[in-house]
Structure 1
Amino acid sequence: MGVSTTAEPPYRRIVEEIRGQIAAGELGPGDRLPSTRQIARRSRVALATATKALNALRQEGLVQAIPRVGTVVAVPEDEAAPSGPARPRTSTRPEQELTRERVVRTAIEIADSEGLDAVSMRAVAARLGAATMSMYRHVASKDELVLLMADAAFAEQGYAEPPPAGWRARIELAARTLWTLYRRHPWLAQLNPLTRPLPLPSLLLHGEWILAALDELGFEPAAALDLEVVLYSHIQGLAANLEREAHAQAATGLTDDEWVEQQGDALNAIARSGRYPTFAKLMATFAHDGYDLDLDKLFEIGLRMLLDGLAVLVEQRR
């Protein structure tokens, strides 16, 4: 009589490997784990399998998701500071307690920590400890889920009435509020092409704040909308680089500084060619003083330039 054996599920092999690395001290508290995409590529499994493995490790309390960092080894409870936050654990509440709000909020947490590509109905269900099909009782599809995520994210900050005095102060407030939201949720920059605006009430709240200021200045509707789009594209365009950098780090394992350092020889060769003297002068300066590409600083520079230009238009209309 033969004895049948059942192969260990692929996700369990990944769990055992990472658990062993943590136990051996190869991965310590705070160390970042590979992304789901990197695990899938290295272990030759589907993304869903890699996601299931990380979710199993979260349920055990061995790892935790940190927004815009990824999944890291959790600090053991007996080593955590008494006043610090409790270690997050995956929810395992029964399916009947699922709500649309919980599904959407969990999907946002996944997108914040792992990127929008990591969001799927299966991934959200695994994070909630629920069956995948139970998601469809609350959200019809992933496309609907993404819209609900975006609307919830843009609704996280609003505006107090009455508005600040003056059109410039009002537009500055709206622009900085949007930048804060994009900073918090960089995946938002992927969603809303200027040519295909999404019907998101919470996004329109921010647009309304800007449009009202422009309307009070007497701009025609088309001109006001053009100006609002220009302001919005400045914010969205810079924010898109936040998500691209996160993807680049996940794909290469290099920070932006490390990547630039690797390009040093090629950039210096271009500078020495003599074809680009201004660039060569900049490179010589940066070799001594360095250069930090600060997106927050660029946001403020761009906003100031746009509003200064708008002030000229307003003055010309008088």
Structure 2
Amino acid sequence: MSTKVLAALRTEGLVVAVRGVGTVVADRARPAAPAPPTRRERRPRAEPTDTSRDQVVRHALALADTEGLDAVSMRRLAAEHGLPTMALYRYVRGKDDLVRLMVDAAFAESPLPSTPPREVRAQLELAARQLWAIFGRHPWLAPAMSITRPEIAPHGMRYTEFVLAALAPLGLSVTEMMHVNLSLFAFVRGLAMGFETEAQAAQHTGLTSDEWMARQGELFGGVIGSGRFPMVARIAEIDDFDLSLDAVFEYGLPRLLAGLLHGTAPS
């Protein structure tokens, strides 16, 4: 009979068996804590699964476009994606790798045509104009690129391939073709460096370039009126003189192409 009673009490949780002691009354005021998971049962904290490398790069691209490349950091990107900073390294190896992917993504937005114009000059002009447009959309891009340390960005390298293929019929050496390509790239990139400078100045001062020039009118007029700069004074007399980057690009590109192609023409 006592055995049946003890079994019933155990079923109700009123008594427990303690090794070396026997059956004792259970402490119902303090329920036993659940056993900790075994090593096999432990699982790492789940992380968001809706993030991809492309999303990280696109996010970084948008930040750089609006706030400049310095605003892009691994810590900030991770926080805005709800990830630990170290988790971001699953997608990119570091800031340098991220910038390389951003450069490639920027070029991927404007693929060159598979069927180019027939004339060499038209092909070079097309490449230069598309490059200028890319730099205009992404002011940080021109300063981020290098001539002597080029980025391994496949979409960017397609521009080099396009220009070299356009020059191939001229019978130039590979060195000459590459120098023409670099001269054209240097012109576009060098002028496009002004996009970031202008964006930073507008952000810091809150003034457009025209508004800034208007505020410098009195000071500029005083220097010009001194008579020390007669040629510059002639420019100041032109009311509608266009000092924009686009105006300089439009003036310089056709003359650069004419000079490059004239210098490479067979004698």
Q: How does 1:117-266 map to 2 (within 5 A)?
A: 117-266=70-219
Structure 1 or 2, whichever has the larger Rg, is: 2
Task: Specify the code of the residue in structure 1 equivalent to 2:258.
Answer: D
**CA positional deviation for 1:314:** 4.3
Partner of 1:81: none
Does the aligned pair in 2 maintain the 1:95–1:134 contact within 8 Å? no
Partner of 2:36: none
Counterpart-to-counterpart distance in 2, 1:295 and 1:254:
17
Does the aligned pair in 2 maintain the 1:106–1:127 contact within 8 Å? no
Does the aligned pair in 1 maintain the 2:142–2:192 contact within 8 Å? yes
**CA positional deviation for 1:197:** 1.9
1:312 aligns with 2:262: yes
Counterpart-to-counterpart distance in 2, 1:129 and 1:255:
36
Cα deviation digits, residues 47-100 of structure 1 (max 9, x gap): xxxxxxxxxxxxxxxxxxxxxxxxxxxxxxxxxxxxxxxxxxxxxxx6222111
Partner of 1:111: 64
Partner of 1:31: none
SS of equivalent residue, structure 2 residue 237? helix
Counterpart-to-counterpart distance in 2, 1:290 and 1:162:
39
Q: How does 1:3-22 map to 2 (within 5 A)?
A: none
Does the aligned pair in 1 maintain the 2:107–2:134 contact within 8 Å? yes
Cα deviation digits, residues 12-55 of structure 1 (max 9, x gap): xxxxxxxxxxxxxxxxxxxxxxxxxxxxxxxxxxxxxxxxxxxx
Counterpart-to-counterpart distance in 2, 1:274 and 1:261:
21
Task: Specify the code of the residue in structure 2 equivalent to 1:201.
Answer: P
Does the aligned pair in 2 maintain the 1:170–1:210 contact within 8 Å? yes
User: What is the aligned-residue identity percentage?
Assistant: 45
SS of equivalent residue, structure 1 residue 96? coil
Counterpart-to-counterpart distance in 1, 2:247 and 2:236:
20
Unpaired segments ≥5 residues, structure 2 = 1-46
Given candidates 294, 298, 305, the residue that maps to 2:244 is 294
Counterpart-to-counterpart distance in 1, 2:93 and 2:168:
38
SS of equivalent residue, structure 1 residue 104? helix
Counterpart-to-counterpart distance in 2, 1:160 and 1:279:
43
**CA positional deviation for 1:233:** 0.9
The RMSD of aligned alpha carbons is 1.7
Taking structure 1 as the reference length, what is the TM-score of the superposition? 0.65
Counterpart-to-counterpart distance in 2, 1:147 and 1:314:
33
**CA positional deviation for 1:294:** 2.6
Task: Specify the code of the residue in structure 2 equivalent to 1:282.
Answer: I
Task: Specify the code of the residue in structure 2 equivalent to 1:262.
Answer: R
Does the aligned pair in 1 maintain the 2:235–2:241 contact within 8 Å? no
Cα deviation digits, residues 144-196 of structure 1 (max 9, x gap): 11111111111222123232111111111111111111111111111122222
Taking structure 2 as the reference length, what is the TM-score of the superposition? 0.77
Counterpart-to-counterpart distance in 1, 2:236 and 2:116:
45
Counterpart-to-counterpart distance in 1, 2:234 and 2:141:
37
Counterpart-to-counterpart distance in 1, 2:172 and 2:131:
23
Instruction: Name whichever of 112-121 and 273-282 sits farther off.
Output: 273-282
1:275 aligns with 2:228: yes
Does the aligned pair in 2 maintain the 1:100–1:139 contact within 8 Å? yes
**Count of residues in Structure 1 that have an aligned counterpart in Structure 2:** 221
Counterpart-to-counterpart distance in 1, 2:106 and 2:149:
19
Does the aligned pair in 2 maintain the 1:150–1:188 contact within 8 Å? yes
Structure number with greater CO (CA < 8 Å, separation at least 6) is 2
SS of equivalent residue, structure 1 residue 95? coil
